[in-house]
């Protein structure tokens, strides 16, 4: 079975400060890891993914994430947060031979001006 944990329900940061959203996962085998963002009353927007290769992956809107196999983590980061980054963020995992995604519970990010 595969699962994802997002230990923080909410993350609050000031605009211009670094933003980190935490994610840990549990899978049998090699993970495919994803981050999505959801704005109110909208679907999920794809931010970035780790499939293989470099542990540091860069995605949309200045976000990046680092795959850490030993810690089974895939934390999302942005060096300088914007008010417009305020949204709900989901981490998700799957394994290569199964298309189903397992989602974390989500983390609400609030960036104050």
Chain positions contacting another protein, by CB under 8 A: 32, 34, 36, 41-46, 49, 51, 88, 90, 99-101, 103-106, 108
Nearer to another protein, 41 or 70 (CB): 41
Say if residues 106 and 10 touch (Cβ distance below 8 Å). no
Q: Closest separation between CB of residue 15 and another protein, Å?
A: 24
Q: Closest separation between CB of residue 92 and another protein, Å?
A: 8
Nearer to another protein, 38 or 73 (CB): 38
Nearer to another protein, 54 or 99 (CB): 99
Q: Closest separation between CB of residue 56 and another protein, Å?
A: 18
With CA atoms as reference, report the closest residue to 81 among 47, 48, 110, 106.
Answer: 110
Q: Closest separation between CB of residue 4 and another protein, Å?
A: 9
Say if residues 5 and 23 touch (Cβ distance below 8 Å). yes
Nearer to another protein, 43 or 53 (CB): 43
Measure the CA–CA gap between 74 and 83, rounded to whole angstroms: 23
Identify the sign of the CA torsion 46, 20, 105, 6: positive
CA angle (33, 36, 41) in 5-degree steps: 155
């Amino acid at each position: 079975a595969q699962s994802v944990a997002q230990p923080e329900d909410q993350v609050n940061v000031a605009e211009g400060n670094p933003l980190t959203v935490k994610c840990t996962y549990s899978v049998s085998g090699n993970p495919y890891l994803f981050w999505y963002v959801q704005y109110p009353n909208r679907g999920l927007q794809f931010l970035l993914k780790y499939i293989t290769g470099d542990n540091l992956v860069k995605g949309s809107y200045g976000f990046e994430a680092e795959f850490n196999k030993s810690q089974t983590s895939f934390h999302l980061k942005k060096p300088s947060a914007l008010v417009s980054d305020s949204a709900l963020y989901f981490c998700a995992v799957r394994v290569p031979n199964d298309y189903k995604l397992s989602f974390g519970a989500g983390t609400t990010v609030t960036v104050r001006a």
